[in-house]
């Protein structure tokens, strides 16, 4: 059985094929309805606009039916740990929840953000892994503690659409935000950019390093694909000549569970790390990317996000097309 948990288990050729399939959906060439008469469960532990709407629409366009479940909201609170005595506030165990949903539908999508309490626990994606351990149908990661692969694939598609295939100079930059955020988006973007052979620069202030083990994998993938990975604390230098500026804020690993300490640490970086017209002027006709939602004039200036260089709405649209491609691939017997 196949899952879509991150892009690591996919080769560059397989990722390119998914983008090809997504483009066929976008161009109206593929109007097939392989989900006719079938349902897909979408489990949301956290809020969403793009992921929820694009999955629901995509499943509908493939002829299927989406069943949206919100544990602790419209369904029971869930326990994911094995062997615990469930005499607390959790009503149902994932062992039953996941297998029951698998009897109704052909795949399960799950969104489960990092709780941002304990880095050592969350870096191994415990909730997502419990889903894949118990499930008898494919699991699609709709953003977990560590990865957001559907977003990353949509981002790679957007880069190809805007700038063509081939190696590009990609900058992934940290940005200030009024609260610490998870690392799933930057992790998956960095990994996918490396897998696609881009020259990747990751810029962040000292203390905001991404997961070292993952970044070692990113470096390895970049080298295998003919690209490079550079990590810097110098945003001014990093932006010079970039063809893609991808902005995202994330919390510091050492301050997981201590947001006040993170906010104190990042206070000096607010003005310096916004993506504004001055930074974009230093790029090589760079495009601006962000997964959304984005805080205007905090992460990015109005002047940049409203400019022709901004591709944020295309990225959001492409979520629909890549997720249709992922669903078809997961449910196909031909792959
Ligand atoms: N980019 C993204 O995943 O958006 P949502 O959180 O709105 O789903």
Give the residue-averaged pLDDT of 175-182: 97
Pair 141, 195 in one domain: no
Strands 107-111 and 228-232: unpaired
Q: H or E segment at 248?
A: strand 244-248
pLDDT above 50 for 335:
no
Q: What digits encode the pLDDT tens for the residues 20-62? A: 999 999 999 999 999 999 999 999 999 999 999 999 999 999 9
pLDDT tens sequence across 289-330: 999 999 999 999 999 999 999 999 999 999 999 999 999 999
**Interatomic CA distance for residues 50 and 55, integer angstroms:** 8
147, 291 Cβ separation under 8 angstroms: no
Q: 332 CA distance to ligand 1 centroid (A)?
A: 26
Ligand 1 centre to CA of 83 (Å) is: 33
Q: Which two tokens stand for residue 142?
A: 């709709």
Report which DSSP code applies to 275. Answer: B
Residues whose beta carbon lies within 6 Å of some atom of ligand 1: 48-51, 143, 151, 291-293
Are 159 and 129 spatial neighbours (Cβ–Cβ below 8 Å)?
A: no
What is 189-206 written as a DSSP string?
Answer: HHHHHHHTT-EEEEE--T
Quote the number of domains for the chain: 2
Instruction: Share the mean pLDDT of the chain.
Output: 97
Closest protein CA for atom 4 of ligand 1: 50
CA proximity to 50, closest of 323, 246, 316:
316
Determine, yes or no, domain membership for 2. no
Mutate to test the pocket of ligand 1, among 42, 47, 50, 141 (most ligand atoms within 8 A of CB): 50
Domain range holding 117? 7-147+317-331
Structure tokens at 50: 């793009």
Peptide bond into 293 cis (omega under 30): yes
Ligand 1: residue whose CA is nearest its atom 1:
291
- 68, 143, 248, best to mutate for ligand 1 pocket (most atoms within 8 Å of CB): 143
Cβ 181 vs Cβ 46: under 8 Å: no
Assess whether 291 and 272 both reside in one domain: yes
Residue 213 confidence class, pLDDT cut points 50, 70, 90: very high
Contacts of 103 (CB under 8 A, 6+ apart): none
- Burial track 37-74 (b if 16+ CB lie within 10 A, e otherwise): ebebbbbbbeebebbbebbbebbebbebbbbbbebeee
Helix axes 126-134, 94-104, angle to 10 degrees: 50
> What CATH code is carried by the domain that includes residue 67?
3.40.50.1370
| Tokens standing for residue 265 | 């640490």
Which token pair is 264? 């104190």
The DSSP output letter for 308 is T
Atom of ligand 1 nearest to the CA of 148: 3
Interior angle at CA 263, CA 257 and CA 266, nearest 5:
125
Of 44, 189, 291, the one to substitute when testing ligand 1's pocket (max ligand atoms within 8 A of C-beta) is: 291
| Ligand 1 closest atom vs CA 143 | 3
* pLDDT tens by residue, 230-245: 999 999 999 999 999 9
The answer to whether position 95 is within a domain reads yes
Ligand 1: which of 55, 292, 294, 315 to mutate, most ligand atoms within 8 Å of CB? 292
Q: What is the pLDDT of residues 131-143, one digit of tens each?
A: 999 999 999 999 9
Q: Note the pLDDT tens digit of each residue in 70-102.
A: 999 989 999 999 999 999 999 999 999 999 999
**Do 195 and 259 fall within a single domain?**
yes
Sort residue 91 into left (φ over 0), alpha (ψ -120 to 50) or beta.
Answer: alpha
Q: How far is the CA of 170 from the centre of ligand 1 (A)?
A: 22
**Helix ranges restricted to H, 225-311:** 235-239, 259-266, 277-281, 302-305
Closest CA to 218 of 247, 210, 171: 210
Please identify, by atom number, the ligand 1 atom nearest to the C-alpha of residue 54: 8
Q: Which atom of ligand 1 is least distant from the CA of 53?
A: 8
Distance from Cα 172 to the centre of ligand 1, integer Å: 18
Q: How far is the CA of 188 from the centre of ligand 1 (A)?
A: 14
| pLDDT band per the 50, 70, 90 thresholds, residue 333 | confident
Residue 1 within a domain:
no
Instruction: Tell me 27's DSSP state.
Output: T
- Whether residue 322 lies inside any domain: the answer is yes
Substitution site in 114, 319, 320 for ligand 1 pocket (most atoms within 8 Å of beta carbon): 319
pLDDT of residue 203: 98
| Same domain assignment for residues 60 and 134 | yes
Atom of ligand 1 at shortest distance to CA of 150? Answer: 3
Residues 6, 141 contacting (CB under 8 angstroms): yes
Would you say 256 and 116 are in contact if contact means Cβ atoms under 8 Å apart? yes
Ligand 1 centre to CA of 293 (Å) is 7
Tell me, in angstroms, the distance from the centre of ligand 1 to residue 297's CA: 19
Same domain as 140, residue 26: yes
- 134 and 168 together in one domain: no
Q: At a CB cut-off of 8 Å and minimum separation 6, what does 168 contact?
A: 159, 198, 199, 243, 244
The pTM score is 0.97
187 contacts 8 by C-beta, under 8 angstroms? no
Q: Are residues 124 and 184 in the same domain?
A: no
Between CA 186 and CA 141 the distance in angstroms is: 15
Looking at the structure, tell me whether residues 177 and 302 fall in a common domain. yes
Distance of CA 111 to the CA centre of its chain: 10
């Amino acid at each position: 059985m196949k899952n879509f948990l991150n892009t690591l288990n996919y080769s560059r050729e397989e990722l390119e094929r998914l983008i090809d399939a997504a483009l066929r959906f976008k161009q109206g060439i593929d109007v097939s309805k392989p989900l006719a008469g079938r349902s897909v469960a979408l489990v949301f532990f956290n809020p969403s606009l793009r992921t929820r709407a694009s999955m629901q629409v995509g499943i509908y366009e493939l002829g299927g039916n989406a069943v949206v479940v919100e544990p602790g909201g419209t369904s029971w609170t869930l326990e994911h740990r094995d062997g615990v005595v469930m005499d607390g506030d959790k009503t149902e165990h994932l062992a039953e929840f996941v297998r029951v949903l698998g009897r109704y539908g052909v795949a399960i999508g799950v969104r489960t953000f990092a709780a941002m309490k304990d880095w050592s626990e969350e870096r191994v994606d415990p909730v997502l892994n419990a889903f894949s351990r118990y499930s008898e149908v494919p699991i699609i990661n709709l953003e977990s503690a560590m990865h957001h692969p559907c977003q990353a694939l949509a981002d790679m598609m957007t880069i190809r659409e805007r700038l063509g295939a081939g190696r590009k100079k990609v900058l992934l930059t940290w940005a200030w935000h009024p609260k610490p955020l998870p690392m799933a988006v930057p992790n998956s973007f960095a990994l996918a950019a490396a897998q696609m052979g881009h020259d990747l620069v990751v810029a962040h202030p000292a203390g905001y390093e991404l997961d070292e083990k993952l970044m070692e994998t990113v470096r390895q993938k970049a080298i295998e694909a003919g690209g490079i990975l550079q990590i810097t604390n110098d945003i001014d230098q990093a932006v010079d000549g970039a063809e893609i500026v991808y902005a995202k804020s994330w919390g510091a690993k050492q301050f997981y569970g201590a947001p006040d300490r993170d906010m104190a640490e990042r206070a000096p970086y607010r003005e310096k790390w916004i993506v504004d017209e001055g930074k974009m002027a230093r790029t090589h006709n760079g495009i601006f990317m962000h997964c959304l939602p984005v805080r205007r004039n905090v992460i990015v200036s109005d002047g940049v996000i409203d400019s022709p260089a901004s591709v944020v709405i295309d990225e959001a649209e492409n979520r629909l097309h890549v997720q249709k491609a992922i669903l078809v691939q997961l449910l196909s017997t031909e792959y």
